[in-house]
Structure formats: structure tokens, C-alpha cells
A and B are shown apart, each in its own frame.
Chain A
Amino acid sequence: MASRHQLGEPVVVIEGVEKSFGSFPVLKDVSLTVRRGETVCIIGPSGSGKSTLLRCINGLVPISKGSIKVAGREVNDASLDKLSLRRDVGIVFQQYNLFPHKTALQNVMMAPIHVLKQDKAVVEERARRLLAKVGLSQKLLAYPGELSGGQQQRVAIARSLAMNPKVMLFDEVTAALDPETKKEVLVTIQDLAAEGMTCILVTHEMGFAREVADHVYFTDGGLIVEHGSPADVFGDPQEERTKGFLDKVL
């Protein structure tokens, strides 16, 4: 499935990143590069630093050492305009984190209007299109509390897409969903990847990772233990740690 489309220039370049929470090191010397149009999956046991790495990419968590460049912009720079960084990086969370006091449509429209100061009519047109794309045209006026988990997660994806990001981060987005609704969300992400959106996914869905990823990274203990094409990592893992993990989860 890899390289279904031409990969472009690097969008996210991570070099020698280290991060500690207190004296506990979460990331130890992590490097990876994601090119435009590429779909990258990060797999590994819980507590291996996968989610932290994603949060470092959009500056939610500051790094202790190393460098993260997003579209040529150094994330760790104190003078960085966080707004322009976050405009380029969309993130979808495990718990959806929608704004509970706004309808699905408003959730999608809010940020472009408030943050990008775009015209309301233009934003609404785009929001309706995005919600149709994730299959929620019937739920425009529903509040998050009235939607199922899978529906909420699709609204969350549409909300991120409304900002026209250069890269989308998915942080275990199906972990809280039942198998049926999981499928809706995975199909949505697969469509995005197929359209050429640059995606970085932290996931425990091995089958899905194998199917959609151009490149798979296996992390453990804050390190990238092994990486390569899905065929290589899943089919012929080189490291003992990777083999042990895959034996347990597959």
C-alpha cells in the first residue's frame, strides 16, 4: 500500500528530541521525518512516549532537548508564533474533546472564525462540506452530548480539518470506541490519507496501521526501536523487542 502517491518535501522533522517529566525521561533521542502526503503510524506499548511525541509536535508539551521542525518552523523556539504553528498542525484526541456547549456545526466553525478571522458565511459553507465528508450531514445541529463516540470523533476530525492544516495528528483516536463506531472513524482517516493529507497516527490498531501506513515506527521506553515499511516492521521485525510486542498484540 505504501507510496500510493508521490511524497513531497519533509513537513515534520524531528531530530534528537528528549523530554523528561521531572526526573522521568519519556523521550530519549527520538528522530523521525514525515514527508508531505505521507501517513506515518507510531506503535508501541503504553507509556513508551507516543502521545507525548505528538503533543510536542504542536507545542502543547515543550521538549527538553533536540529540535522539531514543522513546515520549516522550529517548534522549540521561544519566539515562535504558536498560532501559526497550530494553524498548520491539526490534532485529534482520544477523548474527542469537543466543545460541549456548541453544536457539531459550531464546533467546526468556531476556530476558523475566532482564530483565523475568516468570514462566517465562507466558514459555514466549508464546515457543512467537511461534516458531509465525515458522514454527519444529518447531525449539524446536534450537541456533542447527543452524539455517539464515533460521531463525536468524526466531528473532531472535521473541526481540525476546517483549519486547513498541513499535517494531522491522531492520538489513539479509536481507543475509546466500540468496534462498530471504530470502523467509521478509521474509514474517515483512511479517506484523508488517500487524498494525500499528511497524517501521523499513534495507534493500537495494528491491522489499520499495516493497511494505511507508508511508514511504521515502533517505540519503546522513549526510543524508536525499529522503523520501516509496514511490510518490514510487521512481516519481518528485526528487533527482539518488536517481535515480542507484535507477538502479544497480533
Chain B
Amino acid sequence: MIASYFQWLNDTHGLNFSVFYDAFDRSRFLTGLWTTTYICVVSIIASMVLGLIGVWLAGGNSRLGRLVVRGYVQFFRNTPPLVQLSFFYFAVAGLLPTVSDGASGQSPLVSGTGWAIIAFSLFAGAFNVEIFRAGIEAVPSTTVEAAESLGYTRLQLYLHVVLPLAFRICLPALNNNLINLVKTTTLAYAIGVPELLYAASQIWSEMFNVREMMNVLLVTYVALVAVLVWIMGRWEKAMRIPGYST
């Protein structure tokens, strides 16, 4: 039904949405969508883990730990993500050994998709460190003092008191950063990762339907971010505390 409508649209009006009626293009596009989603989900989770580890070390007693986190945040916050990605893919990847692909050839240890995930996780993670730090600093010191007086260790304090409150405070800022991360994944195009933008460009260079594919691409990203916003909104709602405002 949908396929025949778009076929008709192409035949009579010259609007070529090939992804809706051409099985090959559709499969290429869906592969791109899946790759983008995969990079997004893994990078979002990894960047949040990095943010947590970073903020734990940044507030810790180890001078070395604090220095490492500060260096990490400065480096990844102050350089363009495209340069970071290229650095990993072209500079770092060359230093790593290759592995046998089972047949006669050798394949790289980490794929392009792998490097994209690593680069984006580190990039967004640096921002997450600062976002979590802002949330933690907004937890009243009196609440922390109360937990310390009850004998809480630093880890227990973080797990049961500070982080649950800090998360609620920094969720809007975290939302922004994660949305940015989703959009930044298009940069993986530059190292040939078959994500959405790459798939779209392959299709439009063969079908000459740049205008149509651009629209499809934009709408797809709007939908992707909408899903993320919806999930984060649900999360925020689930964490709402009766009678408490931050």
C-alpha cells in the first residue's frame, strides 16, 4: 500500500522516496537507522558511566585522580568531536595490531563503528562529568552532613543520598547533552561508518533524490530525538518526589 503510493508519487510527480518502495534502498536505510541507534544507545550508557566515574574521582582524595579527570574534561570538551573521531580512527587505530579475519586477510582490532562509539562516549562523557558535578554540588551540604553523622561512607553516601538527589537536579542538563550526542553521531559518516547519514548519501548519490532523502533524514532524526526525550521525560516523572522541589 505505502510502497505503491510512493511508487505512484515518483511516477507522476517525480518525488522519489525510494526508501519506501525500493527493497534494496529500504534495507540500506534501515541498516543505517539500526547502526545510528546502536551507536546512540551504547554511547549514551558509556558516557553516563564515564561521567559517574569522572565525578567520583574529581571529588576524591587522590590528587592524581583529580588531575586525570581535569585533563580528560579539558581535552574532550575543548576539541571538536570530528577531530577527536579522526584522531582515534586515523592516528590511534594505526598503532593497534590487526587480527586475522579467519580467511587470508587481516582486519582491524576495532571497527569504524567501534571507534565512533569510543570517541562519542568520551566526548559526551566529558560534558557529563561537569553536568553531574553541578548536580552533586547542588545537593545541600546539610543533607550530606546528616548522612555522614549516621556513619555513611563516601560510597554509601553517593549511592543512597547524593546521586539520587543530584540526578534529579541535573536531568535537564543531561537531557541536552544526550540529545546533542544523538545528533553528533552523524560525524561517524566521516570515517565511513554505515550510519543514517552515510546510508542516505549512498542512496541519493545513486537515485539522485537528494531533496527527498534530506527530508527523510531530518524527520528520522526528529523521531529519534523524540524517543529519547520521551524516555527521559518518563524517567524524570518516575523520580518526582512528592512535596519536594529543587
Contact = CB atoms under 8 A, between A and B. Distances in A.
Contact of A111 (B145, B150, B168): B150
Contacts of A156: 146
A227 interface: no
Nearest to B146: A97
A114 B160 contact: yes
A175 to B, nearest CB: 14
Contact of A87 (B148, B151, B168): B151
Interface string B129-169: 00000000000101101111111110010001100110010
A143 B149 contact: no
A201 to B, nearest CB: 16
A195 B204 CA distance: 83
Contact of A93 (B146, B152, B156, B168): B146
A159 B150 contact: yes
Given A97-B145, A100-B143, A115 B241 contact: no
A111 B151 contact: yes
A9 interface: no
B102 interface: no
Contact of A99 (B149, B151, B161, B168): B161
B156 A86 contact: no
B242 interface: yes
Interface residues of B, number: 24
B152 A146 contact: no
Interface in A33-85: 58, 60, 82-84
Contacts of B168: 101
A143 B151 contact: no
A110 B165 CA distance: 15
B149 A86 contact: yes
A145 interface: yes
Nearest to A147: B243
A191 to B, nearest CB: 22
A43 to B, nearest CB: 23
B160 A91 contact: no
B151 A115 contact: yes
A97 B152 CA distance: 15
Interface in B231-246: 239, 241-245
B148 A60 contact: yes
A97 B156 contact: no
Contacts of B156: 114-115
A58 B241 contact: no
A114 B152 CA distance: 8
A60 B149 contact: yes
Interface in A161-177: 163
A99 B153 contact: no
Given A115-B150, A146-B243, 8 more contacts: A86-B151, A90-B149, A93-B146, A99-B143, A99-B161, A100-B165, A101-B239, A111-B150
20 contacts: A60-B149, A82-B151, A83-B151, A89-B149, A90-B149, A95-B142, A97-B146, A100-B165, A101-B239, A111-B147, A111-B150, A114-B152, A115-B151, A115-B152, A142-B242, A143-B244, A145-B241, A145-B242, A146-B242, A160-B150
